[in-house]
Structure 1
Amino acid sequence: MSDIIQILPDSVANQIAAGEVVQRPASVVKELVENAIDAGSTSIKINLKDAGKTLIQIIDNGCGMSATDARLAFERHATSKIKAANDLFAIRTMGFRGEALASIAAIANVELKTKRVEDELGTHLVIDGSELVSQDSIACPSGSNFIVKNLFFNVPARRKFLKANSTELRNIITEFHRITLANPDIEFKLIHNDTEVYNLVPSNTRQRIVNVFGRSINTRLIGIDTNTSIVKLSGFIGKPKNAKKKTDEQFFFVNNRYMRHPYFHKAVLLAYDKILPPDTVPPYFIFFEVDPKIIDINIHPTKTEIKFEDEQAIFQIIQASIREALGKFNIVPSIDFDEDRSLEIPVANQDSTEVEMPMIKVNHEFNPFEADTSFNPFEAEKSFNPFEQERNSIENNQFYQEFKSKPSSSTGASQKKEVPKDWDKLYQDREPDLIPDYPIGGQTEVKRPPVPDYFKQQESPQNQMQQKIFQREDSVKAQGFFQLKNKYILTPVRSGLMIIDQRKAHERILFEKFRSSVENNQGVAQQTLFPQTVELNASDYTLLQVIIEDVRALGFDIREFGKKTFVINGTPADIQNGDPKELLENLLENYKVNQLDVKVKVRENLAKALAKASAVNYGKSLTSAEMSAIIDQLFACETPNYTPDGKTIVSVLETQELDKRFR
Structure 2
Amino acid sequence: MGKIKELQTSLANKIAAGEVVERPGSVVKELLENAIDAKATEINIEVKEAGVQSIRVVDNGTGIQSDDLDLVFHRHATSKLDADDDLFHIRTLGFRGEALASISSVAKVTLQTCTDEEEGQQIYVENGQILERKPAKAKRGTDILVESLFYNTPARLKYIKSLYTELGKITDIVNRMAMSHPDIRISLVSDDKTIIKTNGSGRTNEVMAEIYGMKVAKDLVHISGDTSDYHLEGFVAKPEHSRSNKHYISIFINGRYIKNFLLNKAILEGYHTLLTIGRYPICYINIEMDPILVDVNVHPTKLEVRLSKEDQLFELIVDKIREAFKDRILIPHNDMDKIAQKNKVLDQFEQQKIDFEKRQQQSHLNDTKVAQQQENDEQGDAENNDAKKSGMEYEDSDNMSYQSTTKEDSKIQEQLSNKDGYTKSQREILYDLEHQQLDEKNDDIAEQSDIKGAISKDPSRRVPYMEVVGQVHGTYIIAQNENGMYMIDQHAAQERIKYEYFREKIGEVSNEVQNLLIPLTFHFSKDEMFIIQQHINELDRVGVHLEPFGGNDYIVDSYPVWFPSVEVEEIIKDMIEYVLEHKKVDIKRIREEAAIMMSCKKSIKANHYLKNNEMSDLVDQLRETEDPFTCPHGRPIIINFSNYELERLFKRIM
* Smaller-chain TM-score bracket: 0.5 to 0.7
Task: Give the Cα separation in 2 of the matches to 1:269 and 1:46.
Answer: 34
Paired residue type of 2:306: K
Residues 496-543 of structure 1: CA deviation (Å, up to 9, x unaligned)? xxxxxxxxxxxxxxx99998777448xxxxxxxxxxxxxxxxxxxxxx
Separation in structure 1 between the aligned mates of residue 62 and residue 215 of structure 2, nearest angstrom? 37
- Corresponding residue to 2:160 among 138, 155, 162: 162
Residues 549/257 of structure 1: CA separation in 2 closer, same or farther (3 Å cut): closer
The structural deviation recorded for 1:7 is 1.1
Cα–Cα, structure 1 residues 5 and 550, in superposed 2: closer, same or farther, change >3 Å?
closer
Is 2:73 the counterpart of 1:74? yes
Deviation, 1:198, is 1.6
Partner residue in 2 for 1:642: none
Asked whether the equivalents of residues 18 and 103 of structure 1 are also in contact (C-alpha less than 8 Å), the reply is yes
Q: d(CA) in 2 for partners of 1:515 and 1:58?
A: 35
What letter matches 1:33 in structure 2? L
Cα distance, 1:58–1:588 mapped onto 2, change above 3 Å: closer
Instruction: Give aligned-pair identity as a percent.
Output: 36
Distance 1:68 1:32, change over 3 A: same
- What displacement does 1:313 show? 1.7
Report what 2:87 is aligned to.
Answer: 88
The 1:276–1:132 alpha-carbon spacing in structure 2 relative to 1, beyond 3 Å, is same
The separation in 1 between residues aligned to 2:98 and 2:36, in whole angstroms, is 17
Distance 1:32 1:621, change over 3 A: farther
Structure 1 residues 335-414: aligned runs within 5 Å: none
| Separation of aligned partners in 2, 1:208 and 1:69 | 35
Q: Secondary structure at the match of 1:304?
A: coil
Per the TM alignment, residue 124 of structure 1 is displaced from its structure 2 partner at its CA by 0.9
Q: Look up the SS of the partner of 2:274 in the other structure.
A: coil
Distance 1:137 1:266 in 2: 53
Alignment of 1:497-536 (within 5 A): 519-520=357-358
Code of the aligned partner of 1:133 = L
Paired with 1:320 and 1:546, the residues of 2 have a C-alpha distance of 48
Q: Residue 304 of structure 1 corresponds to which residue in structure 2? A: 303
CA distance in 2, matches of 1:550, 1:211: 23
Deviations 1:303-325, CA, capped at 9 Å, x for gaps:
11111111122111111111111
Q: Residue 148 of structure 1 corresponds to which residue in structure 2?
A: 146
Secondary structure of 1:301 counterpart: coil
Q: Distance in 1 between matches of 2:146 and 2:122?
A: 14
Counterparts of 2:179 and 2:325, CA distance in 1: 23
Deviations 1:351-381 (A, max 9, x none): xxxxxxxxxxxxxxxxxxxxxxxxxxxxxxx
Q: What is the identity, as a one-letter code, of the residue corresponding to 2:185? A: E
Contact 2:233–2:285 under 8 Å retained in 1: yes
Greater Cα offset, 137-146 or 92-101: 137-146
Query: Residues 188 and 198 of structure 1 are in contact (CA less than 8 Å); yes or no, is this contact kept in structure 2?
Result: yes
Q: Aligned to 1:8, what secondary structure does the other structure show?
A: coil
Give 1:188's aligned residue: 186
Partner-residue secondary structure (3-state), 2:70: helix
Of residues 133, 136, 141, the one that matches 1:135 is 133
- What does residue 11 of structure 2 align with? 12
Structure 2 residue matching 1:71: 3-state secondary structure = coil
Match status 1:593 vs 2:592: no
Q: Is the 8 A contact 1:29 1:56 kept in 2?
A: yes
Query: Residue by residue, what CA displacement relative to the aligned partner does 1:581-621 show, whole Å, maximum 9, x if unpaired?
Result: xxx8665533443379xxxxxxxxxxxxxxxxxxxxxx999
SS in structure 2 at match of 1:65: coil
Shift of 1:246: 4.2
CA contact (8 A) 1:261 1:306 kept: yes
CA distance in structure 2 between the partners assigned to 1:47 and 1:559 by the alignment: 21
**What secondary structure is seen at the aligned counterpart in 1 of 2:250?**
strand
Q: In structure 2, what is the Cα distance between the partners aligned to 1:512 and 1:55?
A: 32
Are the aligned partners of 1:39 and 1:63 in contact in 2 as well (CA < 8 Å)? yes
Q: Quick one: distance in 2 between partners of 1:275 and 1:168?
A: 34
- Partner of residue 54, structure 2: 55
The CA deviation at 1:238 is 1.3
In structure 2, do the counterparts of structure 1 residues 129 and 246 end up closer, same or farther at CA, with 3 Å as the change threshold? same
Q: Which has the higher helix share?
A: 2
Within 5 Å, give how 1:447-462 maps onto structure 2: none
CA deviation profile, 1:248-267 (whole Å, cap 9, x unmatched): 32100111111101111011
The answer on whether the counterparts of 2:247 and 2:435 sit within 8 Å (CA) in structure 1 is no
Tell me the distance in 2 between the aligned counterparts of 1:222 and 1:35. Answer: 31
- The answer on whether the counterparts of 1:268 and 1:322 sit within 8 Å (CA) in structure 2 is yes
Letter of the 1:158 partner, please give it.
R
One-letter identity of the residue aligned with 2:246: T
For residue 590 of structure 1, what is the amino acid of its counterpart?
L
Counterpart contact for 1:11–1:106, Cα < 8 Å: yes
What is the root-mean-square deviation in Å for CA atoms of aligned residues?
3.1
* Aligned equivalents of 1:208, 1:202: Cα separation in 2: 9
1:259-270 maps to which residues of 2 (within 5 A)? Answer: 259-270=258-269
- CA deviations 1:267-302 (Å, max 9, x no partner) are 111222222123211111011011111110000101
Aligned to 2:196: 198
User: Counterparts in 2 of 1:164-563, with a 5 A limit?
Assistant: 164-203=162-201, 204-331=203-330, 519-520=357-358, 548=415, 560=422
The structural deviation recorded for 1:66 is: 1.8
Alignment-mate amino acid for residue 589 of structure 1? D
- Letter in structure 2 aligned against 1:248: H
Contact 2:162-2:417 at 8 Å conserved across structures: no
Structure 2 Cα separation of the partners of residues 297 and 154 of structure 1: 31
Partner amino acid, structure 1, of 2:432: E
Structure 2: distance between partners of 1:551 and 1:109? 26
Q: Name the stretch that deviates more: 74-83 or 212-221.
A: 212-221
SS, match of residue 248 in structure 1:
helix
* Secondary structure of the corresponding residue to residue 272 of structure 1: helix
1:330 Cα shift?
4.7
Quote the Cα distance in structure 1 between the aligned partners of 2:353 and 2:222: 43
Number of aligned residues: 376
Q: Report the alpha carbon displacement of residue 329 of structure 1 after superposing the two structures with TM.
A: 2.2
Q: TM-score, normalised by structure 1?
A: 0.53
Q: In structure 2, what is the Cα distance between the partners aligned to 1:22 and 1:162?
A: 12
Find the aligned partners of 2:174 and 2:145 in 1 and give their Cα distance: 18
Q: TM-score, normalised by structure 2?
A: 0.54
Q: Distance in 1 between matches of 2:326 and 2:205?
A: 21
Cα pair distance change 1:548/1:132, threshold 3 Å: closer
